[in-house]
Chain A
């Protein structure tokens, strides 16, 4: 790099910023035109540009970690099957193979080569969640991937500008919302075109024939910056294990994080074998959330690309739940994948100064509801409206070393929730409650974020099904450094009966589905939390009078009026004990 002139180096930096802006434009186009709720409302998408060798140079910052880092691995498979030398202008390629891209059939990846002076100079790609892919629908109940829907191998979507009508015919025939799905796939291709046009304009402005030098510059600068951060950490092996509910049996995620000078390696030996149901994770997706977990602690400000991901490696024994093979079912793989960053944070907590945040609710609580003739009537004689609803909800994040956790906020997922009013306008359900869950944040010097409570009933009293895929019901998020655990989640009927946290179940007529999401773990000794802050939490109804006394040794009334003498005595007594 040092052999470049000052002006050339400045231009490199400018072009790097431009590439990031280009993929940002690509992502915006996706958000604006998508049908799938998770893309347009929740930002569940990835957009990026790759060099001729399939190395990711820049990604849009809107993407979710699971997609983006998984897509980074995917492009080499495309160019292995369709070498860039044989690509032609107007070609576009597609796949949704879970093992090649981001781990379940709902995610479709579309790749478009960019031509400049008659030669492929780059590839634009995006991965987006489509509204349906056939099969059982979005849920954990399948036992094989073949039940989960249509699997499209890497195929041309367009050849020299001509759409692959045969493939589209197959897609239309196999999915529940054919117009929306096919509409989405075409808009994925259109967003790549926007990226290509911008890239060519940039190459003309800076008089470039290829991206070789720029790509080298980006990859090398990012790699060196990441290495420099890793080098600050002491060498060693750091272990952590986390137990979670699983589908029908507990799952252990075991990790050994090894820092060796300029690399970090995460090994998942000791992790439970694959599940008989669709919560299994393919290697790409494991890598995605592994890299995310490491990066957000070690190098959060370094942009994601091939170079910055290079020093972070991992391994998972074949057949474990983090490295399953066909035909294992994978549709609800996010449940496990979302817990990987917490697993890794538990390792890094032993290394980084000040420590890492406590465990949180982590896995999204995706509420997938279904109405219609397939729902058990159980005596209800009115009409049962047909509908599908998917909606995202989050519990609390773990307390941070110097700040409380975030209440009802997604981590590690990057998605957004949807307004209740918007859901009710398009779905025959009524949300009776969606609010913070008092006393769910783990007590600590820093309190864990609160979970939330949701109650949903059928609008006309009709029964409906829930395709439950909820985690952290039997295993609460753990606190750190004497911080208490957050409250575990609960899945039940409004009338009180407990439901299974995973699997399709019916909510009887005139009853409600009640979900209580886990709170984050606390950080530090609760007795070290300023009594005034505890009293404030009580006044705001986040912590009850009882929990203030029992967990924090703070005596106050419901309005937060502190009894200083009683608090001092209580705390002194506890510390002495």
Chain B
């Protein structure tokens, strides 16, 4: 188990809804494989992909030094409601908190909405007499006989997994532990999830929802992971298997089996890690990671090489990706906004005569109209074809001819005819609207985090992103974009860059004016021990770093601000001066976010987070910029200009023919096997020594608008 995940022959696999992506890296060499996901037995797709990558690299299974695995399987179990029969044992009087949610309609005007179905039906939400108060003191002792009496109920219902979640257990887990001990002794085949272990934070709905989700996916995920481990061993792989987590770190199989809910959305997390790595490599301070695929676009903010993280996430949204329509999970996640904007997103016209795009998607079957597979609805990809951004004869490396006439027909019937627009302008409308939606999502997401996007660099990957990145960047006022190579398997590459990491969270209420330094230190010691216990077995002796954050606010507010604790590795405890230092740090951060502080108001701390992680490798300074040189175009193509609404002929470059230092003046398009980069008239592209296309806004356009 002591292999170093950053050296040797390294294999990553990302199981997505459609494709299973495999990346193998050996030193400087990289091999990739893309196979269809085998939903009935995901291991099969993995082995196929591994086989292809190993063959290309000419290595044997026994040579591989580490495997990192990220999967959408846990997410799918939740979306499709295909987990194991699960029960929830909870405090009497509160069995409905996961059904009552926050008593809100996520969409105000639609009288026909459906609320997300709870993972555990009411008949299996089993109340027990017990109660802690808000200080973690016992108000009503646990009714052990009442717990015992649940045994036949659980047996009769064929429950394989049970969550135990009591009020205020984040402060005192004694009753949850006691209840589990009673039940586990009688039900050896049932797996138990304690809310105080999986999500020890205040707010019963979110904590119990998380515990139920963990319990719900646990039996099938642990089966799958253990089977995969066995099959890999049979195939001759003798290296450790790590799992990608939603928080952006990787962890051991043992931890993944215990907290499978933390595997949710690990694919997109890998994408954000991929972008973070590029940000560090290129020394970019502020970055917007922009990943646009077939169905959705995901946007993540990265600062100093660190993606923004969060402790809340919503999975399995039932209504247009809308906030509040899914199941809340309180787990460490990379914070992203996801909107229904991908190449397959379907365009239409609403009652006001406005062009709409998404969130419905044509998917891969039947796909966009231009695929000629029976799709009749116009999609973003159809618009890109009509606008000349995608060459119908050279799509997916020429493996699939696209039907431009079909795209025009679809755009005319669903958009153009209603708005009296010719196909090119209908296409322009669709493209402008999807770019606008993504830019707006990015901007609102930034403001929610108290950040701005204008000064950032956009890193664009995923099949559809390079087509739309420069226009979205124009709308955001962003001056620089990076289009990495290998963007089609960005998530799997990200897995290989992820640190071994684990995050521990605790709710422990403190007010700064009466900070209990000793009790906080004792709690931090416990958190540190738990996090090291998880990380050390996978770290291969590498140096570990600790980040400790307190989530603080003015007394009376509802949203917290994360502030790093004033402690260091050599002095890992808070001292008597801590309150004053924390107040100063809090006010600095608050001022950064909201441009003011509020004098005389007390400050409180609700939540504490400890992240233990292997240190990110130091990047060598990027190689010096090569001599600028003029790239040679391979041809020309007629592309619609978003500024004038007219077609103009623009040069076409082949990405694989470009060399470091090549300079391409926009407007231009750069084609490669998986995607096409549109360089708009306002940008100039340079080929970086590491293979990146770097688009910089032309200086003159700044002067023009000034």
Contact = CB atoms under 8 A, between A and B. Distances in A.
A435 B205 CA distance: 12
Contact of B111 (A194, A297, A430): A297
A414 B105 contact: yes
Contacts of B448: 28, 32
B28 interface: no
B525 to A, nearest CB: 24
Interface stretch (B71-79, B219-227, B433-441): B433-441
Given A35-B554, A177-B556, A394-B103, A10 B432 contact: yes
A24 B445 CA distance: 10
B93 interface: yes
A179 B601 contact: yes
Given A17-B437, A302-B351, A433-B93, A7 B123 contact: no
Contacts, number: 218
A408 B351 contact: no
Interface stretch (A90-98, A154-162, A420-428): A420-428
Given A228-B351, A357-B111, A33 B94 contact: no
Contact of A180 (B108, B203, B556, B644): B556
Contact of B122 (A21, A221, A414, A540): A540
B444 A25 contact: yes
A129 interface: no
B93 A455 contact: yes
Interface string A146-179: 0000000000000000000000000000000101
Q: How large is the interface on A (under 10, 10 to 19, 20 to 34, 35 or more residues)?
A: 35 or more
Contacts of B421: 6, 9
Nearest to A408: B100
B41 interface: no
A300 B111 contact: yes
Interface residues of B, number: 75
Interface in A190-229: 190, 194, 198, 201, 204-205, 221-222, 224-225, 228-229
A562 interface: no
Contacts of B644: 7
A249 interface: no
Nearest to B207: A421
Nearest to A180: B556
A309 B525 CA distance: 59
11 contacts: A14-B436, A201-B477, A224-B352, A296-B108, A296-B110, A357-B111, A406-B113, A409-B103, A421-B167, A432-B131, A455-B93
A303 B108 CA distance: 12
B111 A13 contact: no
A295 interface: yes
B211 to A, nearest CB: 14
A323 to B, nearest CB: 25
B394 interface: no
Interface in A403-431: 403, 406-411, 414-422, 424-425, 430-431
A2 B353 CA distance: 12
Given A14-B433, A65-B108, A419-B203, 6 more contacts: A7-B428, A31-B558, A37-B558, A221-B354, A409-B103, A421-B202
B443 A432 contact: no
A10 B434 CA distance: 12
Given A37-B558, A40-B558, A421-B202, A300 B109 contact: yes
A509 interface: no
A131 interface: yes
A155 to B, nearest CB: 22
Nearest to B559: A32
Contacts of A37: 558
Contacts of B113: 406
B140 to A, nearest CB: 9
A515 B116 CA distance: 26
A403 B113 CA distance: 9
A411 B105 contact: yes
B121 interface: yes
B145 to A, nearest CB: 20
Interface stretch (B494-502, B592-600, B669-677): B592-600
Given A419-B203, A425-B134, A13 B354 contact: yes
B103 A16 contact: no
A301 B354 CA distance: 12
Which 10 pairs of residues, A with B, have the shortest CB-CB distance? Answer: A40-B558, A433-B93, A21-B440, A540-B122, A300-B109, A417-B103, A424-B134, A7-B645, A6-B425, A416-B104
A392 interface: yes
Contact of B115 (A11, A190, A406): A406
B94 to A, nearest CB: 6
Contacts of B428: 6-7, 10
Given A421-B134, A434-B93, A435-B93, A10 B425 contact: yes
Interface in A269-296: 295-296
A452 interface: yes
A539 interface: yes
Interface string B501-527: 000000001000000000000000000
Contacts of A222: 352
A302 B421 CA distance: 22
B105 A406 contact: yes
A418 B415 CA distance: 44
Given A21-B444, A190-B595, A299-B351, A420 B102 contact: no
B347 to A, nearest CB: 12
B577 interface: no
A37 B556 CA distance: 8
Interface in A30-75: 31-35, 37, 40-41, 43, 61, 65
| Residue of A13, A201, A414, A434 with most partner-chain B CB within 10 A | A13
Contacts of B509: 425
Given A6-B422, A403-B114, A434-B97, A131 B556 contact: yes
B189 interface: no
B596 to A, nearest CB: 7
A400 interface: yes
A436 interface: yes
Nearest to B604: A426
Contact of B429 (A13, A28, A183, A409): A13
B139 interface: yes
A41 B104 CA distance: 11
B350 A301 contact: yes
Contact of A417 (B102, B131, B593): B102
Given A14-B432, A424-B133, A21 B202 contact: no
B168 A415 contact: no
A434 B432 contact: no
A416 B101 CA distance: 9
Contacts of B705: 204
A547 B65 CA distance: 65
A302 B425 contact: no
A109 to B, nearest CB: 20
A187 interface: yes
B204 A421 contact: yes
Nearest to A14: B436
A562 to B, nearest CB: 15
A32 B589 CA distance: 14
B205 A410 contact: no
Contacts of A10: 355, 425, 428-429, 432
Nearest to A32: B559
A268 to B, nearest CB: 22
Contacts of B94: 420, 433-435
Nearest to A540: B122
A498 to B, nearest CB: 21
Given A414-B105, A434-B97, A13 B433 contact: yes
A473 to B, nearest CB: 19
Given A190-B596, A409-B115, A421-B134, A221 B95 contact: no
A179 B556 CA distance: 10
A393 interface: yes
A303 B354 CA distance: 12
A392 B419 CA distance: 45
Given A18-B440, A416-B102, A417-B103, A40 B557 contact: yes
